[in-house]
Structure 1
Amino acid sequence: MTYTIIDTTLSDPLARPLLDGLQVEYATRYAEFRPNSAALASEELVRYPAELFAPPEGAFIVIVRDGETVGGGAFKRYDATTAELKRIWTHAGERRQGLARRVVQELEARALRQGYRRVYLTTGFRQPEAAGLYVSAGYERLFDPSIPPEVHFRLPFGKDLLEPGRTDSLSDLVQLEPLGQR
């Protein structure tokens, strides 16, 4: 199978499967914790203006196979030296094949080229596969893992792109309190 990585925008029709897939994923995974999870998922997906995910401060990519979007993700500026990964997604039928890791690697490479030296992200407590991906890709947990993940609700992670494994450069990103529901 041949996969093509395309730098694009949120308004590109190639982005629609990613956004629709995230909408369903967020709504269904958190339905028992948020009675209005479908509406909240929709709100989350339009929370940030599309231009934040475009160069020079952001990026948005999709992975296409046989003309269909099967994965993708984005980043936006978090601060002057930090990119924030968002919207990492892989089609349900394409999971466990390394596509999400490829998306993360591609976004990290773009972030470095755009002058960022570290990456920040959050994932939800009902997304253990995502948390596992980030840990295996060298991201540091920026939360207290001894606290049950549902207390945190959102789980923050960080990575120094210039010196992977270095944690002191991430200290200002560490969450002192759980990121509860908002």
Structure 2
Amino acid sequence: MSAAASPDGFVVVPPGDPRTRPLLEGLHREYVARYGPSIGAEEMEHHPVDEFRAPTGGLVLLLEGGLTVAGGAFRRHDDVTAELKRIWTDPGHRRRGFSRRVLAELERLAAAAGYRRIYLTTGNRQPEAYALYRDSGYVALPGVAHSYADGVYDVGFEKHLR
């Protein structure tokens, strides 16, 4: 995985690359709008950025015209499982299939890193994420993965890679 620049398409970057700023700031705004400031901040600070570095993790951006329009990351969950995090599409670029493309690219990179299973969680106030994962072959796991205040909770999903 390299950090080579590309005017369009996918690029794998290290955490801290300036092109991740739109993704991180956009996610923060999204989480605060849906879940409130305390949960939004907690989610963004929960995983150290080093967890998304190769060889056990990766951070991918989708660029259009050299600008970050979507992205996501994965990290080691256990020896055979990658956990997907930070999947986001810029609001001005939604409904174009970018999240589905990011998801497929993250699955491809995780498989190339030796993982055989994907695990992820999404909050109960993100119905479009539920639909994306379900339509992409993910199975909802029973129970609640994590509970927060005010009736907010995360549900886990899994998918076995070929």
Equivalent position of 1:78 in the other structure: 77
Q: 2: CA distance between counterparts of 1:102 and 1:118? A: 18
Q: 1: CA distance between counterparts of 2:74 and 2:160? A: 15
Q: Deviation digits for residues 84-140 of structure 1, max 9, x if unmatched?
A: 000000000111111000000000000101000000000000000001000000000
> SS at 1:28's partner residue?
helix
> SS at 2:73's partner residue?
strand
Alignment map for 1:54-93 (pairs within 5 Å): 54-93=53-92
The alignment's C-alpha RMSD in Å is 1.8
Gaps (5+ residues) in structure 2? 1-6, 145-149
> SS at 2:9's partner residue?
strand
Whether 1:27 and 2:26 are equivalent positions in the alignment is no
Judge which range, 127-136 or 2-11, deviates more. Answer: 2-11
Tell me the TM-score normalized by structure 1: 0.78
Equivalent position of 1:42 in the other structure: 41
Equivalent position of 1:12 in the other structure: 17
1:153 Cα shift? Answer: 1.3
Larger radius of gyration: 1
> SS at 2:77's partner residue?
strand
Among all aligned residue pairs of Structure 1 and Structure 2, give the percentage whose two residues are the same amino acid: 46
Alignment map for 1:1-182 (pairs within 5 Å): 3-30=8-35, 37-143=36-142, 153-162=153-162
Equivalent position of 1:165 in the other structure: none
Q: 2: CA distance between counterparts of 1:38 and 1:85? A: 22
1:50 Cα shift? Answer: 1.1
Letter in 1 for 2:98: L
1:152 Cα shift? Answer: 7.1
Letter in 2 for 1:24: R
Letter in 2 for 1:132: A
Greater strand share, structure number: 2
Tell me the TM-score normalized by structure 2: 0.88
Q: 1: CA distance between counterparts of 2:79 and 2:62? A: 28
- Give the number of aligned pairs: 151
1:69 Cα shift? Answer: 0.6
Higher relative contact order (CA 8 A, sep 6+): 2
Q: Deviation digits for residues 133-164 of structure 1, max 9, x if unmatched?
A: 0000000011269xxxx9671011000002xx
> SS at 2:95's partner residue?
coil
1:3 Cα shift? Answer: 3.4
